[in-house]
Amino acid sequence: MGRLLWVDLSERSIQEEPLEEEVRRNFTGGYGLGARMIYSHQKAGVDPLGPENILGILTGPCSGTPAIAGSRFMVVGKSPLTATWGDSDCGGYFGPELKFAGFDGVFFSGISDRPVYLLVENGKAELRDASHLWGKDTTETDERLKADLGKKVQIACIGPAGERLSLVSCVMHDRGRAAGRSGFGALMGSKKLKAVVARGDMKVPIADEARLRDLRKRYLAQLKESERAKLRQQYGTCAWLTGLVEVNDTPIRNWSGVGPIDFPTAERISDENVIKYEVKKYACYRCPIACGGHMKVTTGPYAAAGHKPEYETLASFGAMTLNDNVESIIKLNDLCNRAGLDTISAGSAIAFAMECYEKGLITDGDTEGIELRWGNAEAIVVMVEKMAKREGFGDVLADGVKVAAGRIGRGSEEFAVHCAGQEPGMHDPKYWPGLGMSYQLDATPGRHGQGGHWMEGFPDWWKRSLGVEDIPAGPNRHDYAGKGEAFKRAACMLHFIHSSGLCRFPWYHMDPASMWEFVSAVTGWRIEGEEAYRIGERIANIRQAFNIREGFNALEHAIHPRVVGLPPLREGPTSGITVDMDILLQDFLKAMEWDLVTGRPSRKRLIELGLKDVPKDLW
Ligand code: SF4
């Protein structure tokens, strides 16, 4: 749309800024553009919950276009959870609607003196009073705003957890879609910004409509032929849980267990046993996969209606806590969605507390009689309700495991599994070694969606055309020495795709070139694979530079020993494995031309990438 909004909540002022073609071309959009803008507009060392921390909500060039799954928007800023660079993305309809309302993104600074929401509509924006919404959960907020403004509005909002500045709170859209990671619910809460509401009917300009139509047709046909796409369509991400527990990819019992041995009933929270509660499927904007679903548990203690839990939610509230009661997880998903809590972090915090309880580090006296025993579904539900309200022991857990361990003390730090403060995703580097590198070295620590380690399992032609065929695969996945270039290429390609506003799930089942072809047709830029890769590398560098300028060196924040097999497991599919993090990190740093000790991007590479203003801040 070529326009950004800047909102100063302290001054209650709103300004428009044209989005220069050069910046768009160099950073695409989404979190790439967000990192570039915030790096330029924000000084280092600001309080993550203070007025100077800028919050960005951005779309990509493909959001709101007929490109397949151009559904995404991204929330960016300095993370309240890790105090590093943070970004988190979300599907649904909000990103497209923000474009129809006339803008590519909105940045917020300052702190409002009372709760407000921003209404963006057909090229205009205004701040409105949100006192009547403060305290309401995300479903109630959605209902009330739609009752006031009409059903067509799309909403990104926070729930009570964000209002109470929980560091593991998130930004919610459509009652069940989350920009979950990095604690951005707390950043919105600190600004007294309850919601951003978009409505519009402006047309997203497309450089070559005929080509875009042809591309959509061609790639819809590819998706139709893909068996894996059909599986995703049928189940969503819950299709993979049983299999991943069997190979020990899913973390079990707060990262200490062995899948098939310690959680043999995983199938109770996977596949058919989840979707039997699905009452309706749904899709994000113009996505043929439609992996989302509305769920209903009609009777019993966990009666609830809400969205289908993703794999990550089933793993964090299931395998991590040894809870095989699927109805309780549907309920927990809904509780978290309403409160605006990230399910990965919330489930991980409960698993950590359960281990502390089982080991006697905390007692009924701490938990007000709630028996946090492994597998106690009832106790998990009660404790999550308390987390959302910051009540009793829930308050101890409401800021994630690192802060909770600091509050509990008594040696509990030993069981607090996190990456520089963020709970890692629900995949295990002992199974995917490359994941250890992105858990530690990605600018937003602990993220499972970055890094591209999982590309190993993709068909050879697919990997070759992306240039990532060297990612170690199958039985050789532990031969990872010297594979830094392949991991770099995968990570940079993902930065490009994420920043384009496209969901990567359909991309898994299409020609890799589809993504830059879609971006080219929308923008008219004629991007090919090598330019996409270079844009991704530029994005990786500006995110990394943000962290270095903050004084954060990821190499000083080793991830929890359990995650990498220290000590190695004695039984099961990943027994005896310790990931050699030194090799992984050093190979990746060399490929990126980042300093092997400080992680600083080289001056030469920064200049080659056009980041000419950055070296003076780092060197
Ligand atoms: S694949 Fe699923 S998450 Fe991605 S855009 Fe489609 S419906 Fe949304």
Does 578 score more than 90 pLDDT? yes
pLDDT digits (tens, 9 = 90+) for 174-227: 999 999 999 999 999 999 999 999 999 999 999 999 999 999 999 999 999 999
Between the CA of 232 and the centroid of ligand 1 the distance, in Å, is: 9
What separation in Å is there between the alpha carbon of 283 and the centre of ligand 1? 6
Say yes or no: CB of residue 290 within 6 Å of ligand 1.
yes
Residue nearest to atom 2 of ligand 1 (CA): 291
- 205 Cα to the center of ligand 1, angstroms: 23
What pLDDT does 23 receive? 96
Smallest CA separation from ligand 1 atom 4, residue:
503
Last residue of a domain, which of 171, 199, 227? 199
What is the C-alpha R_g of the chain?
Answer: 22
| Ligand 1 within 6 A of CB of 306 | no
Output the domain CATH number for residue 573: 1.10.599.10
Is residue 167 a part of any domain in this protein? yes
Cβ burial of 372 (10 Å; 0-12, 13-18, 19+) is: buried
Pocket flag, ligand 1, residue 292 (CB < 6 Å): yes
Which atom of ligand 1 is nearest the CA belonging to 505? 1
CA of 93 to the centre of ligand 1 (A): 11
Q: Is residue 593 part of a domain?
A: yes
Backbone angles phi, psi at 74, to 5 degrees: -130, 140
Cβ atoms 399, 341 nearer than 8 A: no
Backbone phi, psi, residue 601, to 5°? -60, 145
Of the residues 150, 184, 199, the one at which a domain ends: 199
Task: Evaluate: CB of 283 within 6 angstroms of ligand 1.
Answer: yes
If you measure from the C-alpha of residue 282 to the centroid of ligand 1, how many angstroms do you get, rounded to a whole number? 9
The confidence band for 410, taking pLDDT boundaries of 50, 70 and 90, is very high
Q: Which of 4, 394, 483, 378 is nearest to 164 (CA)?
A: 394
**Per the domain annotation, does 177 fall within a domain?**
yes
Q: Tell me how far the alpha carbon of residue 239 lies from the centroid of ligand 1, in angstroms.
A: 14
What average pLDDT does this structure show over 23-48? 98
Q: Counting atoms of ligand 1 from 1, which one is nearest the CA of 232?
A: 1
The answer to whether residue 457 scores a pLDDT higher than 90 is no
Average pLDDT, the chain: 97
Same domain? For 516 and 378 the reply is no
CB 323, CB 317: distance < 8 Å: yes
Per the structure, the complete domain to which residue 180 belongs is given by: 3-199
Q: Is 71 in the pocket of ligand 1 (CB under 6 A)?
A: yes
SS3 338: helix
Give me ligand 1 centre to Cα 290, in Å.
6
| Residue after which a domain boundary falls, among 170, 199, 228 | 199
Residue 228 covered by a domain: no
266 CA distance to ligand 1 middle (Å): 24
Q: Ligand 1 atom closest to Cα of 236?
A: 2
| Nearest atom, ligand 1, residue 91 CA | 8
Q: Are residues 189 and 257 in the same domain?
A: no
Q: Parallel, antiparallel, or unpaired: how do β-strands 154-157 and 292-297 relate?
A: unpaired
> Mind listing the pLDDT tens digit for each residue in 491-533?
999 999 999 999 999 999 999 999 999 999 999 999 999 999 9
Distance 208 CA to ligand 1 centre (A): 24
Give the tens place of pLDDT for each residue, 131-173. 999 999 999 999 999 999 999 999 999 999 999 999 999 999 9
Residue 475 has pLDDT above 90, yes or no: no
CA distance 571 to 8: 56
Read off the pLDDT of each residue in 239-254 and give the average, rounded to a whole number. 95
What pLDDT shows up at residue 456?
Answer: 86
Mutate to test the pocket of ligand 1, among 72, 89, 284 (most ligand atoms within 8 A of CB): 284
Do 391 and 448 fall into the same domain? no
Mean pLDDT over residues 15-38, rounded? 97
- 345 and 490 inside one domain: no
Residue 102 pLDDT exceeds 90: yes
Decide: 69 in ligand 1 pocket, CB within 6 A: yes
Q: How far is the CA of 286 from the centre of ligand 1 (A)?
A: 9
Residue 376 counted as domain residue: yes
Say if residue 398 is in the same domain as residue 478. no
- pTM for the predicted model, two decimal places: 0.97
In the prediction, which pLDDT does 610 show?
Answer: 98
**How far apart, in whole angstroms, are the C-alpha atoms of residue 526 and residue 396?**
52
Would you say the CB of residue 44 lies under 6 angstroms from ligand 1?
no
pLDDT at residue 276, rounded to an integer: 97
Do residues 92 and 20 share a domain? yes
The total of structural domains in the chain comes to: 3
Q: For residue 326, name the pLDDT band (cuts at 50, 70, 90).
A: very high
- With respect to residue 210, please indicate whether it lies within any of the assigned structural domains: no
Regarding whether 403 and 331 lie in a shared domain, the answer is: yes
CA 202 to chain centre: 29
Span 532-546, pLDDT tens digits: 999 999 999 999 999
Specify whether the CB–CB gap between 537 and 609 falls below 8 A: yes
Task: Give percent above pLDDT 70 in the chain.
Answer: 100
Rounded average pLDDT over 546-556: 98
pLDDT, position 64: 98
Q: Kindly give the number of the ligand 1 atom that is closest to the alpha carbon of 71.
A: 5
Distance 533 CA to ligand 1 centre (A): 23
Same domain membership, residue 299 and residue 158? no
Looking at the structure, do residues 543 and 403 belong to the same domain, yes or no? no
Predicted local distance difference test score (pLDDT) of residue 453? 85
The verdict on the CB of residue 293 being under 6 Å from ligand 1 is no
* Ligand 1 close to Cβ of residue 134 (< 6 A): no
- Average pLDDT, stretch 463-480? 90
Q: What is the CATH number of the domain that holds 272?
A: 1.10.569.10
Ligand 1, from 291, 498, 508: best to mutate by most atoms within 8 Å of Cβ?
A: 291
Q: Which residues of 33-53 are buried (b: 16+ CB within 10 A; e: fewer)?
A: bbbbbbbeebeeebebbebeb
What is the tens place of the pLDDT at every residue in 335-350?
999 999 999 999 999 9
Q: How many angstroms is it from 504 CA to the middle of ligand 1?
A: 8
> 168 with 266, same domain?
no
Does 58 contact ligand 1 (Cβ within 6 A)? no
Ligand 1 contacts CB of residue 505 (under 6 A): yes
**Does some domain include residue 157?**
yes
% of the chain with per-residue pLDDT over 90: 96
**Same domain as 450, residue 587:** yes
Nearest atom, ligand 1, residue 285 CA: 5
Question: What does the pLDDT look like over 57-86, one tens digit per residue?
Answer: 999 999 999 999 999 999 999 999 999 999
* Domain membership flag for residue 211: no
Examine the domain organization and report whether 395 and 259 are in the same domain: yes
With a 6 Å cutoff on the Cβ, whether 394 touches ligand 1 is no
Tell me, using a 6 A CB cutoff, whether residue 289 lines ligand 1: yes
Q: How confident is the model at residue 36 (pLDDT cuts 50, 70, 90)?
A: very high
